[in-house]
Chains A and B, each alone.
Chain A
């Protein structure tokens, strides 16, 4: 992988301990998250090799790490 960010690890992407503010426009509670598009499921299962029965939990876990600047993207 020829990338300028190859030294980054998942841990670095986790929000700081005090960064748990859910009162931001991009935050979505688990129960409000719509079902994934079937094509997205396929990609997580066949490309990412995430076990199908854990895909939703995997995505929700990653979504919880979305930084506040996601506001400008979503």
Chain B
């Protein structure tokens, strides 16, 4: 059940994120963009984060409602659950109220839903919602590949998905940085993914060399570079391991 796969908790910076959300003197605010049922938000709360510091943004209202039913916390969860689109730039829209208020963005299984041009808009809009915080971070995972390129996909609403490699994802964030006049340090790495989606056979995954791209993107400010060196090492290590696995699979 991938919708109960708490992907945020598996990220290298999870403990740091949890500590920032629990900091009573200067609590961080986290946005889960495309939060689906809000499972990552519930995991944060179960691990001790005050739900008041959490915001979920989801286009599909049924997902939000099903999340409340699934976790039985309609009265308990005190965070914001916003039904809306990250592409909605209207001044009075539901997303506008978040401008400049977010420290951390979780974007799990989200970027890959869009074309490269829309991913740039997505990134720019996310940055515009964030505080000018030297510890600001965007992290998550989505389908990727060792070669960054747009491909046909039976899983995308448009039939097309842009599969990023670590290098193409860094290029994406270079463009986002340029458009927003901000600077971001990208740590991205590939892992082998399991096949969960019915109707999409094993051959589609292996034939297209589909991997999972994980990323942690840290803002670089004049105050200092918030680079998690431990995360960097872990990411590099995983990249090497899975590049080796891919080589073995290709030989078979």
Contact = CB atoms under 8 A, between A and B. Distances in A.
Contacts of A3: 80-82
B248 interface: no
Interface string B181-225: 000000000000000111110000000000000000000000000
Interface string A18-54: 0000000111100001101101101110111110000
Contacts of A50: 72
Contacts of B84: 4
| Interface size band for B | 35 or more
A8 B73 contact: no
Chain A interface residue number, banded: 35 or more
Contacts of A66: 3, 66
A29 to B, nearest CB: 10
Contacts of A67: 60, 62-63
Given A43-B43, A59-B1, A13 B80 contact: no
15 contacts: A2-B78, A3-B82, A5-B61, A5-B65, A8-B68, A10-B65, A10-B68, A10-B69, A13-B62, A33-B1, A48-B70, A66-B66, A69-B60, A72-B157, A74-B3
Interface of A: 1-6, 8-10, 12-13, 25-28, 33-34, 36-37, 39-40, 42-44, 46-50, 58-59, 62-63, 65-67, 69-74
